[in-house]
Amino acid sequence: MSKIPSLLGALLIAAAMPAIAQEFPKKQPIKFIAAVNAGGGTDLLARITAEYLQRRLGQVVLVENRPGASGAIGADHVAKAPADGYTLLFTAGELAVLPAVRSNLPYKFDNFTYLIRGFTVQPLIIGSAKRPVSSAAELVTYMKANPGKVTYGTTGIGAIVHLGVAMFEGGAGVKGLHVPYTGIAPVYQDMLAGNIDFSQTTPPVPDGIKVLGSVGTKRSPVYPDLPTLEEIGVKNASWDIWYGVVAPPNLPKPIADRLIAELAAVYKDPEAIEKFKAAAKFAPDVVPLTGESFKKRVLEEHKNWKIVVDREKIVVQQ
């Protein structure tokens, strides 16, 4: 007899699902949380995605920047938001990195509702125009001649760029001086001023900064003539970054399915694709990962980054 109430409850929930899906997204504007400062690549992609999602849904989609703690502040906000589809996180590879460097996160990254991974991008290694370095190979030579003195800027201790440069140092047999920032915009500013020597980032790269090579697993389509780190002999230092959308845990399946379908349509919209190409210098993935496939890939990446963190002994103050 005890199973009857629970069964009845499940049936009532199932019956309510179509109504939930029909109501969404008429109730209120949708908030796209970008856990970064305004003006960077992630923010740019979030705003274009929001613009075209708004067109498809017929509902206002607002981008709200909540930077800090290498993305943990924005992620925590979404993790604790109502699971109704009106608060979403536009995020990047940091979502898999943070749990590898911090054991005290106020949320569980594997409990999000994973919607879509829309972009996979090959990062770049970039350098100051005020230094006598024009390629990744020359950077390695320069660092070997100046051990511990060549500075690199990142988006924070334990952030994905920090881990990426740590892999580069290990693969190239060099050691630089880490200068952490709160976002990529101040890294660019200090690099243009000649205050730091190099970093890693994704397109677009501001004028006045040198692009030295591809950090990705293949050459960047934006800079096809520049070799990868692997090609110049720097082993085990390549990585790709992704951008995607997740929602709070336990988002009702009808709403999740609706958002996945609409976001997938955004990333196939010819007009949106051209806008991404013009602004970010790259296009969405031809076959984006969605739902459980997206989640599985993030969990795999987390394990790989944890290996890097443990090997390089990267410690983030709790």
What value does the mean pLDDT take over residues 215-235?
95
Dist. CA 291–CA 65, nearest whole Å: 24
What value does the mean pLDDT take over residues 207-227?
95
Q: What are phi and psi of 294, to 5 degrees?
A: -65, -50
Q: Give burial (CB, 10 Å; 0-12/13-18/19+) of 13.
A: exposed
Sign of CA dihedral 279, 69, 246, 62: negative
Give the mean pLDDT of the chain: 91
Q: How far is the CA of 254 from the CAs of 15, 83, 85, 260, in angstroms?
A: 12, 12, 10, 10
What value does the mean pLDDT take over residues 19-44?
84
- pLDDT bucket at 20, cuts 50 / 70 / 90: low
* 314 pLDDT more than 90: no
> What pLDDT, in 10s, does the model give residues 154-186?
988 888 999 999 999 999 999 999 999 988 889
Dist. CA 203–CA 220, nearest whole Å: 9
Please state the domain extents for the chain. 15-121+241-312, 124-232
Q: Is 82 helix (H, G, I), strand (E, B) or coil?
A: coil
pTM for this prediction: 0.84
Dist. CA 207–CA 187, nearest whole Å: 14
Cα of first residue to Cα of last residue in the chain, in angstroms, is 49
Q: How far is the CA of 265 from the CAs of 57, 113, 116, 260, 297, in angstroms?
A: 11, 19, 11, 9, 21
18 vs 134 pLDDT, higher one: 134
Would you identify the CATH topology of the domain 124-232?
Answer: D-Maltodextrin-Binding Protein; domain 2 (3.40.190)
Nearest partner of 117 among 263, 235, 238, 1, judged by Cα: 263
* 96 pLDDT more than 80: yes
Superfamily assignment of 15-121+241-312 in CATH?
Bordetella uptake gene, domain 1 (3.40.190.150)
pLDDT of residue 13: 46
The first and second tokens of residue 60, run together, are 């206002």
